[in-house]
Amino acid sequence: MSRRPIDRSPDLLRLRNEGYDLDIRGGYLLVRDVPYVDGAAAIRRGVLISRLELAGDTTVKPTDHVCYWTGEHPCHADGSKITTIENPSEPQDFGDGVKADYTFSAKADYRDYHHKITTYIGRIAGEAASLDPDVTARTYPAVAADDAESVFKYVDTATSRANIGPVNAKLAGQRVAILGLGGSGSYVFDLVAKTHVFDIHLIDGDVFAQHNAFRAPGAAPLEALERKPKKVAYFAEVYGAMRNRLHVHDVFIDETNVALLDGMDFVFVCIDEGEPKRLAVERLVRNETPFVETGMGVLLRDDQLGGIARVAVSAPDRREAAARHISYADGDAAANEYAANIQIAELNALSAALAVIEWKKLFGVYRDTSRNHHLGYSIASGDLVREGAA
């Protein structure tokens, strides 16, 4: 079925966001899994059907007050038929797999299809709810995406539920690269994967080892670790379950491949090694590509961890200010407990969240009154120190 009428019609979209199981076939709207009471006073589930009136791909006010029903005749809680909506007729076959056992008529001046469908469901499912208050037609089914151009494997109902489609669309079409998936980069990917960017390029030449599982999002199964997959392949496989257009580059950045960063709309630089980072940053500055660089310094003193998690935000209007906060020194394992693989997933996640928020600010998703070029979170004090234009 095409879901375009649902996505483009506020009344149908509201029904879907409220958890109803919708389908559109041959000009008919089907609402599946509607609970009802049968003649034996038992709860069952049926399908409510309505003709769908459209102007192009958008619904118009329904002129037809009739609905159809697939299942046994709905009854009151005591098993007696609901006669107030009864409209005697023979079973009907509308084609395209749509068949109805009964025809119902509840005359009203329906404002839209949300009004019509919820009115019928209230009369039918309300009797079932009187027997079992937990029974509902709002089943929140998973909805697969049917648009061949969609970046997602299933419909992003979180955006439509919050009514922020135009805001999230500001990232649509972007080509984004994530350089480094060892710590903060994996959490950056987790967040970026849930946006509407067109392409995500993952760049890392390392293996996803057992210690990585303890500072990455999700829960890696033992079987996956035993395969010793490359990080880019592992994360692409996991997140390939929800989205398309993931591009993997099983390399460490050097002079021979830094051109991978060309043509990107935005890059997250999440690596510690000084020289590869320098190559990447110089290339991005030359290309006038905005980027965020993440970093962390965590020290062990007196059996406690302290330090900072930080991000530098580099865009054409703040290059020099951001450059002062980007370090090209390789990690010192003797002093930096992060380099010694202390498990600090929450700091990785925090650094990633700050980086993604600043990226979204640059492109107008979030309000930005400060134009930050540096953010640093102090573990000991809990202070968030920022530097910006305001």
Given a contact cutoff of 8 angstroms between Cβ atoms, the answer to whether 376 and 358 are in contact is: no
What does the pLDDT read at residue 329? 82
Q: Which residues are bridge partners to 384 per DSSP?
A: 377
User: Which one, of 350, 326, 344, 312, lies nearest residue 187 by Cα?
Assistant: 350
φ/ψ of residue 345, rounded to 5: -60, -35
Residue 332 has pLDDT above 50, yes or no: no
CA-to-CA dists, residue 88 to 44, 190, 284, 292, angstroms? 21, 54, 71, 66
What does the pLDDT read at residue 341? 45
CA-to-CA dists, residue 66 to 28, 51, 145, 180, 237, angstroms? 12, 8, 30, 58, 47
What does the pLDDT read at residue 334? 37
- C-alpha 356/C-alpha 186 separation (Å) is 12
Model confidence pLDDT, tens digit, residues 208-256: 999 999 999 999 999 999 999 999 999 999 999 999 999 999 999 999 9
- C-alpha 68/C-alpha 59 separation (Å) is 19
Q: How far is CA 319 from the centre of its chain?
A: 31
Given a contact cutoff of 8 angstroms between Cβ atoms, the answer to whether 308 and 377 are in contact is: yes
Please list, in sequence order, all residues whose beta carbon lies within 8 angstroms of the beta carbon of residue 297, skipping any fewer than 6 positions away. 307, 308, 310, 336, 338
What does the pLDDT read at residue 342? 58
The domains located in the chain, with CATH, are 4-131 (no CATH), 157-388 (3.40.50.720)
Mean pLDDT confidence for 75-82: 96
Residue reference for tokens 């979170």: 377
Mean pLDDT confidence for 97-116: 94
What predicted TM-score, i.e. pTM, was given to this entire model?
A: 0.75
Mean pLDDT confidence for 119-139: 97
DSSP summary character for residue 224 = H
Model confidence pLDDT, tens digit, residues 196-208: 999 999 999 999 9
